[in-house]
Each structure stands twice: as structure tokens, then as C-alpha cells.
């Protein structure tokens, strides 16, 4: 089924204990789309400036990603992020950030994308997320991400968004900020009262947690032997999860659990190299093999 | 099969966001023995001073714990620990500690305990751990715990101990200190080279990890809705794990995995109340029910 993602497209500079990469492709929508495309065709909506080298956008060549929703805006500059994981692989330190084109109007969604059934609203201003959602005809599953900045400065708009989506994906720090609760299960129950039918909490190397009215599902992180660059892990997780869901007829708890395990596995490839190199080197078959390995590593 | 534990018996004062309890029973061997006794008879070896109120030691009344290895030493004082989790439920701040009797000679192991098959050397000086081990006839499974203090000050003796045991249980901070590796899988592989056949890494609320030559097993934490007092969680985990193992004929990876899940579940009851109150309120049937619930919460 059709899967739409809107979110950021970035030129990243990243420093980790394994080295430094300058001016590589990144952004939430990019990681999401690449990860999801192992499972289902993806419709990408995003905007870059005319400074963005075409070579960077060529990452989607040969993949099932429809980039007709990708706007290259003249006179604007691409979103740039410079982060460092040198001190802590679990916590990015932002060295510099330039919103650039992300601070302007949002990109237009092509008419042929308006019938999208599965929708991921990657992290951006909650007003833009609501605008995107309002233009879509009748999506079957809408999942959104958010971040500290919007929780702190756009709480009212974020709460409006939460009333309109099926699932919220966010990390442990973010949900604690949103609910002012330390215990993650208690925090998730608060979020369910705000609207979403389920909440997925990403805990980095410590795995993830799904909470719905009926279910609590806990998943450890994939036991990775080496982490080269954690950038994009959370978006890859969401991409793997939503990509798998888009191929399933069901949204049963069991299906969502399997989807989260696929998300975990895809993210484990992302962090094995810089930028998209880890994902680019992998096949769907290798993802399936690691999924089985992961399942075995936690079953008893 | 016979299960022996040696370790500390303490009078604890504990502060958490839920309140404060002064002069309650604690200590690694106490939590371990209580937790393990849900599964198998336990032989407890430890020492207290003659200041220890008998009422505290009565916690084992009616439980399958043979306390004939418990020495009440005249003229000595019981080990005391005062800790606070007020700032961080995952990290105890030691307010005060008095080794007292723990800084003296170790207690004698009763002759009738010398044939013990399953042995847990709870955290204490690695020389004492080796002495205990040397007196035992032919144990089938020897697992030890340790702590930062010994890793930093008794490294050589600790390495000798590691050459003599089957399994090492320790937390993430400790294994990083021991191996000087950040990645837990890589750190565990280093420990395997030091002697143990398997390593169990405790990650507090984030669960645990087993690494052996053949296996990697990851287990999330039990999704607890409320944590009242984390004291003894790690020792309860080890107690539940070893207690279950002592009832099994096999030491297969599958058996060890089930045992770790039992350890996780028992620890989840420990942290639901102060001192031993959480464990005292629970039945084996409730443990089995929660084990099934935990299994369901992570299976896909």
C-alpha cells in the first residue's frame, strides 16, 4: 500500500569516535524513505535549496522511492546540521544547525500522492504536520514524530496534532518532557489520553517500547558490536516499521510488534556506517536474516 | 539441587522519591537468597555483628533458606549502607557506608554445605570469593558478581577469580570499567577471554544481556509502572536466575534464557516496595503469571 513521508532533507556534517564526514546526505525523511523502501514503495515529500548537489539526491536512484514530491527551491538553501557523538554515542551534541529552507513554507504534496494510505509525518513544526494531514484524502494509518523544540514552544499545536493521528513515535527524553512523568509506561498512558491509539518510545541502544490501550510490548536494542554513526537510527527505525506495516493487511498488535522488530534491525544497519552507507550496503535478504537472528536472540 | 550463596548481609537506610526507610534488612546475599528461595532451597552463608536485631534476620522464617551458615559475631558490628535514589532511580548515591564486620575474616562455610552444586559468589573481595570457592568439593555451576571497587583496586585477584568461575554477572558500568570498552558486546567478548563461559550484563531498567561463545541473548526490563525502591534489584535478578537454574537438569542456552527472564520478573517485584516487602508480598504463582506476561510482552 502507498506510504507517504514528509520531513527534513539535510546536508549533514557528523563527528563520531570513528571519524568525521562533512556534507553528506541526511534528514529525517531521507533516512525514513531509504529504510522503508526495503519493504514498500515510498512517496517522498520534502524541500531542498538550489545549493544541494544533485549527487546527494541521487541516493534514491534505483530504489523504490518516488521523488516527485521533492522540491528544489531556487534561491533557498538546504537545511544543514552539524552534530557530534564524540563524547557520547547515545546523545548527539549539535555543533551547528541552519534551518534555511525548513524555516520557509512547506513543500507542496503532489496530487497523485493525496490518496496515500500510510503516512509518516517526520519531525517538523506541528502546524505543518497538521497542514499536510489535512490535504490527504483518507489515510488508513497516520504516525508522527516530534522533538523537544515543539514540545516546549508549540505545545498547543502539538496537542491538536495528537488528537488527529493514530500513532506517535518519540524518544524517552521527549516523552518525559511532554508528560512530565519519569516512568515511561505512565508517560505513555498519558499520551494515549491525548489522542493516539499507540505510542512507540525509542530508547536508542536500549530498544523500544510500544504502549496501546490493550498492549505493552518491549523490545531490546539489536546487540550491535560496533556503532559507527548513530545519525538517522530513529528515523530508520520508523521507516522499517512503517515500510513493513504498509505491506500488511492487518494492524494487529502482533503485526505492529513484527514491524518494530524490522525497524530495529534496519536501524542496526544504519548505525554500522556513516550517513546512508550502512543501508546502501545491505539487501532485503540480509535484513530478513538479521530479523530472524534478532528474534532468536530474544526468544525463550 | 543445592544452591549456596555467600555475600553481604546489611542494615540499610534507603531514600527514594517514594520515601525513606531506616534500618531495614538488605545486602546482596539477603536479596539473592530470598529471591532464589521461590524456586529452590537456599544455603545462606554470611556474617552480621551482635548489633543486628533478630527481627531483621527473621525475614527468612517460613522460607526454604538454611541459615545455619549465618554467623552472629560477638563484638562486631553489622555492615551498614545508606543510599539515596532521590536524584536518579537508576543510580544509587551512597550517603554513608560502614563495612564493619565485612572488613573482618569471612564466615565459615558449614561442612554440610561443602557439597553445594550451584554457587553464587555475591559481591565481596575477590580473595574471599576465591577462598570460598576453594573449600567447595565439586560445584557444577559457579557464578560471581563483583563491583567497581574490586575492579579498580584488586584487578589481579579478580582476574584469578575469573579463571575459576563459569559465569560473571555485573552491570554495564562495571564491565566497561573492567574491559575499558564502551560497546557491551565487545566488552563481554573480552571477559570471555578472561575465563568465564558466559557473562550476564545487568542494565537496570533497560534489561539484561547474556553473551557466551555461542550465544547472544537480549532481554528488555520488565515494563514496571512504578519503582518504589531499586535496592537489591540486581541481586534479586541473580537470585531468580540461579534459583530457577538449580531446579533444572540442563544448562543449555534456552534454560539460561528462561532463567534470566525469571530473574527479571523477580526483580520487578523487589523494586515495587522497600527492602524485602515487595518480595514478601508475592507468591510463586504470581511470579509464574508475570513470567508469562513478560514473555508475551516481548514475543513476536
Q: What's the pLDDT tens digit per position in B234-255? A: 999 999 999 999 999 888 888 9
What mean pLDDT is predicted for residues B42-69?
Answer: 94
- pTM score, whole prediction: 0.86
Q: Does B224 touch chain A (CB under 8 A)?
A: yes
pLDDT at B215 over 90: no
Reported ipTM: 0.74
What mean pLDDT is predicted for residues B110-128?
Answer: 94
Q: For position A92, what pLDDT does the model report?
A: 87
**How many Cβ atoms are within 10 Å of A277's Cβ, its own excluded?**
17
Inter-chain touch A220–B220, beta carbons under 8 Å: yes
Residue A248 confidence class, pLDDT cut points 50, 70, 90: very high
Q: For position B247, what pLDDT does the model report?
A: 96
**How many Cβ atoms are within 10 Å of A22's Cβ, its own excluded?**
10
Q: For position B91, what pLDDT does the model report?
A: 83
**How many Cβ atoms are within 10 Å of A208's Cβ, its own excluded?**
26
pLDDT at B105 over 90: no
Residues 6+ apart with CB under 8 A from A85: A14, A15, A16, A17, A91, A92, A93, A229, A230, A231
Q: CA end-to-end span of chain B, whole Å?
A: 34
Q: For position B152, what pLDDT does the model report?
A: 93
Best residue of B85, B199, B205, B220 to probe chain A, by most A CBs closer than 10 Å: B220
Q: For position A198, what pLDDT does the model report?
A: 96
Inter-chain touch A261–B224, beta carbons under 8 Å: no
Q: Does A203 touch chain B (CB under 8 A)?
A: yes
Q: What is the pLDDT of residues B187-203, one digit of tens each?
A: 999 999 999 999 999 99
Q: Which residue has the higher pLDDT, A252 or A232?
A: A232
Residue A58 confidence class, pLDDT cut points 50, 70, 90: very high
The pLDDT mean for chain B works out to 94
Residue B157 confidence class, pLDDT cut points 50, 70, 90: very high
pLDDT at A42 over 90: yes
Residue A105 confidence class, pLDDT cut points 50, 70, 90: confident
Q: Give me the residue from B217, B222, B299 closest to A297, CB to CB.
A: B217
**How many Cβ atoms are within 10 Å of B19's Cβ, its own excluded?**
10
Q: For position A100, what pLDDT does the model report?
A: 94
- Tell me A105's DSSP state: P
- 3-state SS record for chain B: CCEEEECCCEEEEEEECCEEEEEEEECHHHHHHHHHCCCCCEEEEEEEECCCCHHHHHHHCCCCEEEEEEEEECCCCCEEEEEECCCCCCCCEEEEEECHHHHCCCCCCCHHHCCCCEEEECCCCHHHHHHHHHHCCCCCEEEEECCHHHHHHCHHHHHHHHCCCCEEEEEHHHHHHHHCCCCHHHHHHHHHHCCCCEEEEECHHHCEEEEECCCEEEECCCCCCCCCCCCCHHHHHHHHHHHHHCCCCCCCHHHHHHHHHHHHHHHHHHCCCCCCHHHHCCCHHHHHHHHHHHHHHHCC
Q: For position B149, what pLDDT does the model report?
A: 86
Q: Does A61 touch chain B (CB under 8 A)?
A: no
Q: For position A9, what pLDDT does the model report?
A: 95
Q: For position A24, what pLDDT does the model report?
A: 96
According to the per-residue pLDDT averaged within each range, which of A204-208, B1-5, B11-15 is highest? B11-15
Best residue of A179, A262, A300 to probe chain B, by most B CBs closer than 10 Å: A300
Coil, strand or helix at A196 = coil
Ranking A190-199, B163-172, B289-298 by mean pLDDT, the lowest is B289-298
Whether the Cβ atoms of residue B157 and residue B178 lie closer than 8 Å to each other: no
Q: What is the pLDDT of residues A129-163, one digit of tens each?
A: 999 999 999 999 999 999 988 999 999 999 999 99
Q: Is A127 exposed, middle or buried (0-12, 13-18, 19+ CB in 10 A)?
A: middle
Q: For position B146, what pLDDT does the model report?
A: 93
Query: Pick from B96, B90, B99, B98: which is nearest to B16 by CA?
Result: B90
Residue B92 confidence class, pLDDT cut points 50, 70, 90: confident
Amino acid at each position: 500500500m502507498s506510504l507517504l513521508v514528509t520531513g527534513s532533507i539535510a546536508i549533514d556534517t557528523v563527528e563520531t569516535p570513528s571519524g568525521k564526514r562533512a556534507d553528506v546526505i541526511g534528514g529525517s525523511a531521507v533516512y525514513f524513505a531509504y529504510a522503508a523502501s526495503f519493504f514498500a514503495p515510498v512517496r517522498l515529500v520534502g524541500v531542498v535549496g538550489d545549493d544541494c548537489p544533485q549527487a546527494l539526491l541521487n541516493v534514491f536512484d534505483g530504489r523504490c522511492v518516488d521523488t516527485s514530491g521533492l522540491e528544489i527551491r531556487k534561491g533557498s538553501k538546504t537545511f544543514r546540521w552539524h552534530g557530534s557523538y564524540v563524547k557520547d554515542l547515545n546523545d548527539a551534541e549539535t555543533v551547528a544547525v541552519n534551518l534555511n529552507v525548513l524555516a520557509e513554507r512547506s513543500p507542496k504534496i503532489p496530487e497523485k500522492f493525496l490518496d496515500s494510505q500510510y503516512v509518516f509525518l517526520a519531525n517538523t513544526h506541528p502546524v505543518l504536520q497538521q497542514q499536510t494531514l489535512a490535504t490527504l484524502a483518507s489515510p488508513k494509518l497516520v504516525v508522527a514524530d516530534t522533538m523537544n523544540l515543539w514540545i516546549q514552544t508549540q505545545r498547543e499545536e502539538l496537542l491538536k496534532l495528537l488528537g488527529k493521528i493514530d500513532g506517535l513515535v518519540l524518544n524517552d527524553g521527549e516523552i518525559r518532557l511532554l508528560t512530565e512523568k519519569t516512568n515511561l509506561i505512565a508517560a505513555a498512558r498519558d499520551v494515549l489520553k491525548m489522542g493516539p491509539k499507540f505510542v512507540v518510545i525509542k530508547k536508542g541502544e536500549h530498544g523500544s517500547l510500544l504502549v496501546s490501550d490493550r498492549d505493552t510490548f518491549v523490545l531490546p536494542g539489536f546487540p550491535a558490536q560496533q556503532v559507527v554513526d548513530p545519525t538517522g537510527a530513529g528515523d530508520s527505525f520508523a521507516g522499517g516499521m512503517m515500510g513493513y506495516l504498509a505491506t500488511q493487511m492487518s494492524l494487529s498488535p502482533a503485526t505492529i510488534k513484527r514491524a518494530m522488530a524490522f525497524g530495529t534491525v534496519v536501524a542496526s544497519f544504519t548505525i554500522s556506517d556513516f550517513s546512508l552507507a550502512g543501508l546502501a550496503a545491505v539487501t532485503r535478504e540480509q535484513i530478513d536474516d538479521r530479523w530472524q537472528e534478532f528474534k532468536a536472540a530474544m526468544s525463550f
